[in-house]
A and B are shown apart, each in its own frame.
Chain A
């Protein structure tokens, strides 16, 4: 069942086109993450769904009802903001109660509801404090609590964890995920943090310059990016890109990247390749490993390369390898570290390879 339908949505600020013909359908209970660099229009899109921004053309439907010209309060949504946006002159309890009171709900119903949600978020002991007396994490819990008591059809999150420190962010992320699993409410979540997007999303929407680049499950977007932008934007460290061209040789297809010729017989092409077509080969660092570390059987391909730099990240080690004039990065387990300058045989997991047309930058 479609819960939110965004059709042909455009937003212009003067001559600046912030959103270009956005179409998106969100199923009931999905957790949709809008991901993209700053200025890509993801927050604007969220504000338009919330009704805080008017769209220039297009339509928004929530729960089968056209809400394009409906006020935010009548859209059956609740929103959590990056800056928490708590009412600073009110206690935590009043912050959570206020919206319900404005809707004319009787106090006798509000009280137990607020207390229940506060217990759920472990802020029941803070109900009589002011927001200024709380830590950042506690404030964000209150902001989530204020959204929860409204029991809306859709939750909207606008970078809710960006103001928290790394450790708190990770634990709040887990809690939001648990919360969504137990409530099952449809949610749209805006972030520029790909880790948040990968862990939280049931589907993620990657945006760039007002356009949707790719919509899909996190692992699908991660492993089968539709274009160079998505491939480059996701993953840390980023994907290795190697320029080359296609060689059609009898029945065999391969990519000549100068330093090596990669067989592509196992690759699932989306468009038929042409001989000599300029391409960019993309391979994530975890697909470049010492030969014994490879697990996927998708056609092991080995090369002997010289390590020029080793970076320790704690759990893994990033090994920079010289390949012709270019350098690529591989992820090596700690017990298989090569020595600097001594050539080492590395395996390429070609089953995880992505191939892009050099001109259109699209996946082929």
Chain B
């Protein structure tokens, strides 16, 4: 027994957490997949197998199409804007500016807030009767309109702006750390070679930050799929269902509309989407390392 323990101490130490992960992560993924093949309503029931009917229903629910499209629209815009502006802010802060930590704190500060708070702040800011619109009107520009929250076509921008406001700090911090890690001699060599600063960034420094880009994309993608509280606090899916995200749809089906089967099916589709993005990424990543 003693010798067994000595030889397998690492396995023994890891086994409780492995068991927990096996049950609560993979176990419940399997359980959800099982529920999605039943006709469960408020509670999971396994006596009523319906095969893939829930998936058929899901893809014939217009609200799901809105939510699913929104995820890519919101995700794409959020990713693009956050990475571009986060990198730009990091580059500006990296210019050895005065009061650097002051600016760093300003950009980082929203990160300290929960998405619910962010959602409420932006709900107020974007409210046509008390937010930015009123402020601009008071400045004299009475034709100014900012109706993102009430216009189904532009409500997605409200989500993007609020999520960017919250996520920008993290992205900036990661890029700044990456920029600071670049050997100063590279900059000196470029100065002697006569390469203009923007070209050094485009051709040398930004390619060197490739690993940071990967980290940022993964972190932001996860927050896109998880995005739930922001929508609930900012728009609550509205107007109508125009700012629904799959997570909101899933929650609604499971706990408000007592349609657990359909909710489980949407959860499985979401997982599939994440895997479709993640598996190629992991494949490339592990192949590059090897």
Contact = CB atoms under 8 A, between A and B. Distances in A.
Contacts of B186: 85, 87
Contacts of B194: 71-74, 99, 102-103
Given A83-B183, A83-B185, A89 B208 contact: yes
A81 B188 contact: yes
A50 B188 CA distance: 9
Nearest to A103: B194
Contact of B204 (A84, A90, A146): A90
Given A85-B186, A85-B189, 8 more contacts: A52-B188, A73-B191, A74-B194, A78-B192, A87-B186, A89-B208, A102-B199, A146-B193
Contacts of A86: 189
A73 B185 contact: no
Contacts of B185: 81-85
Given A85-B183, A99-B195, A79 B189 contact: yes
B193 A73 contact: yes
When A and B form their complex, which 8 residue pairs have the shortest distance between CB atoms, in order from nearest?
A: A73-B194, A99-B193, A85-B185, A89-B207, A85-B189, A81-B185, A72-B191, A79-B192
Interface in B185-244: 185-186, 188-196, 199, 203-204, 207-208
B9 to A, nearest CB: 37
Interface in B159-189: 183, 185-186, 188-189
Interface string A36-64: 00000000000100111000000000000
Nearest to A79: B192
Contacts of A87: 186, 189-190, 203-204
Contacts of A74: 194
Interface string A325-364: 0000000000000000000000000000000000000000
Interface string A17-50: 0000000000000000000000000000001001
A135 to B, nearest CB: 18
A98 B192 contact: no
Interface residues of B, number: 17
A72 B195 CA distance: 10
B191 A98 contact: no
B194 to A, nearest CB: 3
28 contacts: A50-B188, A50-B192, A52-B191, A52-B192, A72-B192, A72-B194, A79-B189, A81-B185, A81-B189, A82-B185, A85-B186, A85-B188, A86-B189, A87-B186, A87-B189, A87-B190, A87-B203, A87-B204, A89-B203, A89-B204, A89-B207, A90-B204, A99-B193, A99-B195, A102-B193, A102-B195, A102-B196, A103-B194
Interface of B: 183, 185-186, 188-196, 199, 203-204, 207-208
A81 B193 CA distance: 13
B195 A98 contact: yes
Nearest to A156: B192
Interface residues of A, number: 27
A88 interface: yes
A52 B199 CA distance: 18
A98 B190 CA distance: 9
Contacts of A321: none
Contact of B192 (A77, A83, A84): A77
Contacts of A52: 188, 191-192
A47 B196 CA distance: 19
Nearest to B207: A89
Contacts of A47: 188
B197 to A, nearest CB: 12
Contacts of B193: 73, 98-99, 102, 146, 150
Most buried by B among A83, A86, A87, A146: A87
B245 to A, nearest CB: 37
A134 to B, nearest CB: 16
Nearest to B183: A83
A240 to B, nearest CB: 40
Interface string A134-147: 00000000000010
